[in-house]
Amino acid sequence: MDLTVIKISGSEGSDIDAVCDDLAELNREGRPTVLVHGASAAATDLARRAGVPVRMITSPGGHSSRYTDPATLEMYVAAAAGLMNKEIVGRLQARGVQAVGLSGMDGRLLQAQRKRAIRAVENGRQRIIRDDYSGRLTGVNHELLLLLLTAGYVPVVAPLAIGAEAEPLNVDGDRAAAMIAAALQADVLVILANVPGLLADFPDESSLVGCVRLGEIERAMDLAQGRMKRKVLAAQEALSGGVGRVVLADARRTAPIRAGLAGQGTLFIP
């Protein structure tokens, strides 16, 4: 199957309608697609409204992530599998796309191992966090996706995995998309974000890196700033898992998926 996996961000500023227009066009052309979405802005917004504090954890390596204690997890489930997922499904259905929303809990689509002790850096000191419900991805039920794809549906996946005790876990959407793309041996993974691609000199958008080979990816990782580190890591995992190519492309333009497929953005190849 000449399959495309698309990841859209859950941050403010992404033009979901442009993505949905473009996906509907690909759908009409008969190209099977899986859409994976983030949920960060919706989860933060819902938590704020419900009076749940929003806190971030910075790892010793400099990665920043949501501190997902049980109260935050509840908001994350409601926002990721509820609000954001059904918002996107509705917008795709409005364009005639037979979208089916799933979270990683459904049919054990995204399996993860809970991180029971997380090292965090706070005011320059390390501490261990034990009540966080985020996970490291360990497996994908690609058969469920194939069942739906073969029947003509477009799976829309929320970044919520299932843990060893069937608990919901917050997982990184970029890496979930990479693991799904690898499990399905996708032709291409398009990761859309609010930048033109990987920038050699962030935030100078004219310093776009056009192409990165798998062997050069460590150098690309050094260039990546903040959230972009996760996207480069996802590209590496997808390529190592057998995905044909990965494109980091700009979510802020019209026809963002097709622009990415045409090579606009940063192309990662084996």
Q: Which part of the chain contacts a second copy (CB under 8 A), choosing from 42-50, 112-120, 195-203, 226-234? A: 42-50
Between 30 and 51, whose beta carbon lies closer to a second copy?
A: 51
CA distance 33 to 27: 8
Hey, which residues does 154 pair with through a beta bridge?
99
Between 149 and 192, whose beta carbon lies closer to a second copy?
A: 149
State in angstroms the smallest separation of the CB of 202 from a second copy: 35
> Which one of 58, 59, 64, 98 is in contact with a second copy (CB under 8 A)?
98
Q: Is 16 in the site for a second copy (CB under 8 A)?
A: no
> Which one of 15, 25, 69, 74 is in contact with a second copy (CB under 8 A)?
74
State in angstroms the smallest separation of the CB of 106 from a second copy: 4
Between 96 and 226, whose beta carbon lies closer to a second copy?
A: 96
Q: Is 144 in the site for a second copy (CB under 8 A)?
A: yes
Size of the site for a second copy (CB under 8 A): 41
Between 128 and 151, whose beta carbon lies closer to a second copy?
A: 151
Q: Is 28 in the site for a second copy (CB under 8 A)?
A: no
What residues contact residue 72 under an 8 Å CB cut-off, 6+ apart? 43, 47, 52, 53, 54, 55, 66, 133
> Which one of 108, 114, 252, 253 is in contact with a second copy (CB under 8 A)?
108
- Of 154-213, binders to a second copy (CB under 8 A) are 160, 162, 165-168
> Which one of 13, 62, 70, 90 is in contact with a second copy (CB under 8 A)?
90
- Amino acid letter for position 196: P
Strand 64-66 versus strand 266-269 pairing type: unpaired
Q: What is the DSSP string of the chain?
A: ---EEEEE--STT--HHHHHHHHHHHHHTT--EEEEE--HHHHHHHHHHTTPPP-EEE-TTS-EEE---HHHHHHHHIIIIIIIHHHHHHHHHHTT--EEEEETTGGG-EEEEE-SSEEEEETTEEEEE-S--BEEEEEE-HHHHHHHHHTT-EEEEESEEE-TTS-EEE--HHHHHHHHHHHTT-SEEEEEESSSS-BTTTT-GGGB--EEEGGGHHHHHHH--TTHHHHHHHHHHHHHTT-SEEEEEETTSSSHHHHHHTT-SEEEE-
State in angstroms the smallest separation of the CB of 103 from a second copy: 6
Q: Is 110 in the site for a second copy (CB under 8 A)?
A: no
Q: Is 101 in the site for a second copy (CB under 8 A)?
A: yes
One symbol per residue from 207 to 246: x for binding a second copy (CB under 8 A), - otherwise; what is it? ----------------------------------------
Could you list the residues that contact a second copy (CB under 8 A)? 46, 49-51, 74, 77-83, 85-86, 89-91, 93-94, 98-103, 105-108, 143-144, 147-148, 151, 153, 160, 162, 165-168
